[in-house]
Structure 1
Amino acid sequence: MAANKLDRSLIRNLMIFQQMSDEDLDNVLAMASVRQLPEGGSAFTQGEPATEFFCLLNGRLKVVQTTPDGQQVVVRHVNPGDIFGIAKAMRRTEYPATAVAIVESLALAWKSTQWEAFIARSPTLALNALQTVGQRLQDAHSRIRELSTEEVERRVAHAVLRLVQQAGKKTDEGILIDFPVTRQDIAEMTGTTLHTVSRVMTAWEAKGLVQSSRKKVIVIDPHRLYVLAEHSE
């Protein structure tokens, strides 16, 4: 599918494109191709040459890194409007992780060789890219601090609250994390085991903090979860 055949209104509302002129937007789209990702499909794989970068139009992805000892770690989630796969901006020639579609997703893809031309089209794109890199560094530092200094329950609380912030949807039951997320995913986000996360979540359910089932998490009492995360009881 040719990207320049997309209805411009589909991408105009994404933050990185909002302040672009029609001409610059058309030029950026002309450089792009459309990538459809089925559930479980990969946009790119850890260790492969970083030949493309992307913007997610709709759907949801998780970025997974495999450690030298074979452990799977969920580094972050990609939300609609996010730029991802920007190894070029970080002066890397290979992808440091794998991006997997949690649900059927649609992304725009550009060749990594077009990165400079891409950000030159709009100060908004350049600023967004810079903010993206800075935010990921900040998130990485937070995760490292949590893994090295916090007990498991606080790490799990922080992980669930991050998911709420990224994709929380108010429902009659509470705040639904609006994409499929399993206890194994949370374990991989927090450097712990499925057994430990299950124990923590079961205890929270008994206290009325959350509801969870296969691939579904609802936060019933976000304030109490925040108190747990910050250890300020």
Structure 2
Amino acid sequence: MRWRKQGLRVCPVTTISRPDADDLAGLALMAALPADIRRKTAAAAQMRRIPGNMRIFDQGEHAGRAHALLSGSVRITQSGSDGEEILIRLIGPGEIFGCVPVLTDGLYPADATTMTDSVEISWDPLALLALMEQHSGVAINMIAILGKRIGETQERLRELATQSADRRVARTLLRLLDQAGRPTGDGIRIEFPLRRKDIADIAGTTLHTASRILANWERRGLLASRRQGLIIVSPETISRIAEAPGG
């Protein structure tokens, strides 16, 4: 078993309840599916509240549950044999996570840790597989979600091979805006409590380079930092940087 990372707490046993069909309405897994399927999916699920900075599962651990997020935020990280950890993905409300083992080797491929107080629902893997077998819409939605993530990974690899760090950071911010952007009076706020290392990891660059780029854009008034939150003041300019030719 791998050592627990310093500063993280193991999620305690908390009060578990059953969600209802309305709780599942915002899940991508339930997109365009009728209420009766949502009711059956809810009946097979458990719901719990998890405080921030809690470990939900560990990389390499047997996948005892498949998860989806109703509220809050979750950081998905992966460690190599040298112990170096990188951010793989940020999970927001409506998204599934820890579901790949249901279709592969039954082991979690990464760590999942709450960034903020969160509410998750989860299923026994066999129950989720049964739902996918019984209702093709659930299986199709699962395939669509995983296919989209594979496409995003391929796009990030292409960007890493062909684009400058500035363009990759800009594209990272645009993806985060699309995933978790909320309009405010100052611009569009990314709801995740981001660290600069998070942006560096997703963009495939060093912390030093990402910090230099973000500091420059903040001086230019393109973005602003607010208590771990990031507000994109000028998404149009960020978009132009992302699409700049030859970069």
Q: TM-score, normalised by structure 2?
A: 0.85
Contact 1:28 1:121 in 2 (8 A): no
- After superposition, residues 73-152 of structure 1 pair within 5 angstroms as 73-152=86-165
What is the one-letter code of the residue matched to 1:152?
Answer: A
Match of 2:56 in 1: 43
| 1:82 maps to amino acid | E
Cα 1:161/1:9, change in 2 over 3 Å: same
Q: Distance in 2 between matches of 1:191 and 1:70?
A: 18
Which structure 2 residue ranges, 5 or more long, are not aligned?
1-14
| Alpha-carbon separation, structure 2, partners of 1:69 and 1:144 | 22
Letter in 2 for 1:67: G
Q: 1:70 to 1:35 in 2, by over 3 A?
A: same
The question of whether the paired residues in 2 share the 8 Å contact of 1:3 and 1:29 is answered with no
Match for residue 60 of structure 1 among 49, 73, 76: 73
What percentage of aligned pairs have identical amino acids?
34
Residue type of the partner of 1:20?
P
Q: 1:3 deviation in Å?
A: 4.2
Give 1:135 deviation, angstroms. 0.9
Counterpart-to-counterpart distance in 2, 1:101 and 1:14: 18
Distance in 2 (alpha carbons) for counterparts of 1:175 and 1:49: 39
Which of the numbers 203, 213, 234 marks the counterpart of 1:200? 213
2:33 alignment counterpart? 19
RMSD of Structure 2 on Structure 1 (CA): 2.1
Shift of 1:177: 0.5
Counterparts in 2 of 1:69 and 1:2: CA distance versus 1, 3 Å: closer
Say if 1:3 and 1:34, in contact at 8 Å, map to a contact too: yes
Partner of 1:190: 203
TM-superposed CA distance for 1:190, in Å, is 2.2
**Residue 63 of structure 2 contacts residue 106 of structure 2 at CA under 8 Å; is this kept in 1?**
yes
Counterpart AA for 2:33: Q
> In structure 2, what is the equivalent of residue 176 of structure 1?
189
Contact 1:51 1:111 (8 Å CA) reproduced: yes
- Supply the AA of the counterpart residue of 1:195: H
Counterpart of 2:228 in structure 1 is 215
1:161 deviates by 1.0
Deviations 1:175-220 (A, max 9, x none): 1112211212112222333222221111101222111244111111
The answer to whether the 8 A contact 2:66-2:99 is kept is yes
Counterpart amino acid of residue 19 in structure 1? L
Match of 1:34 in 2: 47
Structure 1 residues 124 and 210, CA gap change in structure 2 (3 angstroms): same
Q: Distance in 2 between matches of 1:34 and 1:7?
A: 10
CA contact (8 A) 1:58 1:105 kept: yes
Q: Counterpart in 1 of 2:171? A: 158
- The answer to whether the 8 Å contact 1:64/1:99 transfers is yes
Aligned residues: 231
Q: TM-score, normalised by structure 1?
A: 0.89
CA–CA distance in 2 between the matches of 1:47 and 1:14?
26
> 1:106-152: per-residue Cα shift (whole Å, max 9, x none)?
11111122232121343331111001110111111111122222221
Structure 2 CA distance for aligned equivalents of residues 191 and 30 of structure 1 = 41
Unaligned stretches of 5+ residues in structure 1: none
Q: Name the CA distance, whole Å, in 1 between partners of 2:94 and 2:197.
A: 26
